[in-house]
Amino acid sequence: MLSSKLFCFALVSLVFGHIYLAASEETIAVCPPDFVQVAGKCLFVDIFNKRFYDADRHCQSLNAGLLSIKNKREFDAINEWLSTVTPQSKEFWTSGNKLGGTENYYWQSTGMKAIYIPWNVGQPIATAGDCLALANVTTTAEATTTGVYRLSVKPCTSWAPLICQAPLQIFKTQLCLNTTAFFEAKVPA
């Protein structure tokens, strides 16, 4: 009698185990609260002006870093997004800089050398500073115009709004079985 009850319990456990395994295979990618997914990364705009170093610390306090740009596809997606989110803002801090006496620009948030650098007209100006901002203002001898955001060199002690970036958070959605209910849980992958 005890062995037949044990057999039934094992059989029921096996059946529910298969339901659990089949239902727990969905993986989702989400951004942290207040961040928006753009070009495979999570972005957050803070329109309050900060110096470069304060902007970097602010992003770190959000478990993020200042914006870095990998390629043209990412750059175009960020530009399209910025034109709809904050059309009135003229520039934003990125993590790009050449601090530490180097001649090359690096993305501080990733530690990678900046290879794709979409310069604004007349940039880079070596004497203008060591930090990079996305700016949509171009000043020439003829006029000042606004348009696509491009990178410009600025002194790191200047004030500007900022863009933080965070990686997508990957979760597995799992169906949990309880004796009285089913519920879904997000578990970091």
**110 SS3 class:** coil
Residue-level pLDDT, tens digit, the chain, 189 residues: 545 544 444 444 545 554 444 344 578 889 999 999 999 999 999 999 999 999 999 999 999 999 999 999 999 999 999 988 887 788 999 999 999 878 899 999 999 999 999 999 889 988 899 999 999 875 555 545 567 899 999 999 999 999 999 999 888 776 666 556 655 656 666
Nearest to 95 by CA among 60, 62, 122, 121: 60
Q: Is residue 1 part of a domain?
A: no
Straight-line distance from the first to the last Cα atom of the chain, in angstroms, rounded to the nearest whole number: 43
> Looking at the domain assignment, is residue 57 inside a domain?
yes
Whether residue 124 is contained in a domain is answered as yes
Please state the pTM of the whole predicted model. 0.76
Structural domain contains residue 3: no
* Residue pair 131/155 in contact by the 8 Å Cβ criterion: yes
Calpha distance 15→112 (Å, rounded): 50
In a domain, 65, yes or no: yes
Question: Looking at residue 53, which CATH number applies to its domain?
Answer: 3.10.100.10
Task: Examine residue 8 and state whether it is found in any structural domain, yes or no.
Answer: no
CA distance 184 to 189: 15
Residue 20 domain flag: no
Q: Position 75: which residue type?
A: F
Structural domain span for residue 120: 35-169
Classify 16 as helix, strand or coil. helix
The answer to the question of residue 101 being in a domain is yes
- The structural domain count of the chain equals 1
